[in-house]
Chain A
Amino acid sequence: MSNDPDKVWPTGLTLREAEEVHSYLIDGTRVFGVIALIAHLLVAVSTPWLG
């Protein structure tokens, strides 16, 4: 396993594994961003802060 050519430095994950971990991060960020956007819109509707 140790000299698996797929492994990328420095984590020792293979490329597919690294991409999967990355996809969770991206998904989480997207969901978080959309939620934040909706929350801001709703607050702006009830207490407008942009005049």
Chain B
Amino acid sequence: MDNFKGFALRKISEVSVRYLPFADAASDAVPLSRLLRLSLFQVTVGMALVLMVGTLNRVMIVELQVPATLVGVMLALPLAFAPFRALIGFRSDRFQSALGLRRLPYIFKGTMLQFGGFAIMPFALLVLSGYGEAVNAPRWIGLSSAALAFLLVGAGVHIVQTIGLALATDLVKEEAQPKVVGLMYVMLLVGMIVSAFVYGALLQNYTPGRLIQVIQGSAVVTVALNFFAMWKQEARDRGRAMAPQGPKVSFVEAWARLTQRKGMLRLLTIIALGTVGFGMADVLLEPFGGKVLMMSVAETTRLTIFLACGSLVGFVMASRWLGAGALPVDMALYGLAAGVPAFGLIVWSSMMISVPMLLTGTLLAGFGAGLFGHGTLTATMRSAPREQIGLSLGAWGAVQATSAGVAIAIAGIVRDAIVATEAVGTSASAPYTSVFLIEAALLALALLLALPLRSKESGRTVEVNPIENTCLLVVAEPHAVPQAIESGRPS
């Protein structure tokens, strides 16, 4: 028996190091391959977004014949969860775990929710559309189950993205953060583009059975990718597990402390204005190209591709510039400064009926959005002390996701309102150009708000980065971190 116990213990200790889902230690240099693997969670987020906003939007209206307003309400449901990102991030920062984990439990739960939502979604949609015997079923079954499915997926996406970004920030040093942000954005775009093509090809010949296969397939792929992404990323931390529980801080207090920090509220306002400003064009560019400039479907698809390519270039350039020591606030400023003339060009193209001008404007708008997104996310990451990164990123995500949803809603409402009120005598371009002008105005407003941040920040550039020194302290002495960061930061 003793022999067996010794043998088993030795075997398990050999095995566990390699096969446990924890990192060996919080090593200081995280190789790129590990970051690439971590960024896979963004692919699943992109996949869920494309499936809900793009593919199911069409399938529900065309193939399942669900009323368009109901589809709109269902797709908007996950947005209701966006403001809770800040709360989730806060809870994860303060999570009490015997294993010393903070991020993994949340990502696991978020992945389960995403999986669960996808698992019941196809059946919920079929019941909602009255497929088979469901015609005779009471209406509330289809409505509530579809709403539950969308809510679950939405909640899962919000949790996974917020906590995943927080984990990425935990893992790398401050100098490497721009690179990680760029990587995360690029992977989100890649996930969206690839899954759009895949879903399009798979659902070419629509049958209810195929719908079930595709959505449940996404559920399995989501779990597989997320688990693969999280494997061995977060270190077990006995120090954190043993640390005495600090005084209880309520979310309201923590939030108040966050918004009291210098420039934080202003930064969040800029993020909201800029995201709405850049986001409104997303859904209007293609109809604008088709109705006003008489472009074909293939040509208007090119508009979306140009927008995405512009963003991609923006992310890459922002990563490079920030890596070379530029300030995140400057990136956001350049992005906004590129956005204003970009929408000017787009409006002008409708007067000149010039497709090349529209394409240039679109590319420039994408580039500006890329710079802006990267700059504001990096600024948020840097403004947070290590102990509050979850809360800060949650606040960023809450503002960003809510504004993106609001932008799409406003764009549709403004266009429809103008179409309805000036039915006779206005050109086809008026509803669109007025939205684009609003966007330019919002971006200009954000630009004005961002200028003071720059003069405040510029004082910091001269100093040798104070955070870098405190990072060494973090490893050695977990309790000293908040004070060290507070004292290391110029006030």
Chain A interface residues (CB < 8 Å from chain B): 9-12, 14, 16-17, 19-21, 24, 27-28, 31-32, 34-36, 38-39, 42-43, 45-48
Query: Cβ of B68 < 8 Å from any Cβ of A?
Result: no
Distance from B133 Cβ to chain A, minimum over Cβ atoms (Å):
6
Contact yes or no, A46 B134, CB < 8 A: yes
Distance from A22 Cβ to chain B, minimum over Cβ atoms (Å):
11
Query: Beyond A11-B12, A31-B112, is A38–B145 a contact (Cβ under 8 Å)?
Result: yes
Stretch binding the partner chain, chosen from B35-43, B117-125, B199-207, B476-484: B117-125
Contact yes or no, B141 A45, CB < 8 A: yes
Query: Beyond A10-B12, A38-B120, is A46–B132 a contact (Cβ under 8 Å)?
Result: yes
Query: Beyond A10-B9, A24-B105, A31-B112, is A46–B98 a contact (Cβ under 8 Å)?
Result: no
- Which B75-117 residues have a C-beta within 8 angstroms of A? 97-99, 105, 108-109, 112-113, 115-116
- A51–B8 Cα gap in the complex (Å)? 52
- The total of interchain contacts (Cβ-Cβ below 8 angstroms) comes to 69
Chain B interface residues (CB < 8 Å from chain A): 5, 8-9, 12-13, 16, 97-99, 105, 108-109, 112-113, 115-116, 119-120, 123-124, 126-127, 131-134, 137, 141, 145, 148, 241
Contact yes or no, A42 B97, CB < 8 A: no
Q: Which residue from chain B places its CB closest to the CB of A20 in the assembled complex?
A: B98
Contact yes or no, A39 B99, CB < 8 A: no
Distance from B91 Cβ to chain A, minimum over Cβ atoms (Å):
15
Distance from A2 Cβ to chain B, minimum over Cβ atoms (Å):
11
Distance from B351 Cβ to chain A, minimum over Cβ atoms (Å):
53
29 contacts between A and B (CB under 8 A): A10-B8, A11-B12, A11-B16, A14-B98, A16-B98, A17-B98, A20-B97, A20-B98, A20-B99, A21-B99, A24-B108, A27-B109, A27-B112, A28-B112, A32-B112, A32-B116, A34-B116, A35-B116, A38-B145, A39-B120, A42-B126, A45-B127, A45-B133, A45-B134, A45-B137, A46-B127, A46-B132, A46-B133, A46-B137
Task: List 6 additional contacts besides A38-B148, A46-B134; criterion CB under 8 Å.
Answer: A17-B98, A28-B112, A35-B115, A36-B119, A45-B127, A46-B123
Which 3 residue pairs of A and B lie closest in terms of their CB atoms, listed nearest first? A42-B123, A16-B98, A35-B116
**List of B residues within 8 angstroms of A34 by Cβ:** 116
Q: Which residue from chain A places its CB closest to the CB of B109 in the assembled complex?
A: A27
Distance from A11 Cβ to chain B, minimum over Cβ atoms (Å):
7
Q: Which residue from chain B places its CB closest to the CB of A16 in the assembled complex?
A: B98
- A19–B16 Cα gap in the complex (Å)? 18
- A38–B306 Cα gap in the complex (Å)? 42
Which of A21, A24, A36, A46 is the most central at the interface, judged by chain B CB atoms within 10 Å of its CB?
A46
- A10–B113 Cα gap in the complex (Å)? 32
- A28–B133 Cα gap in the complex (Å)? 32
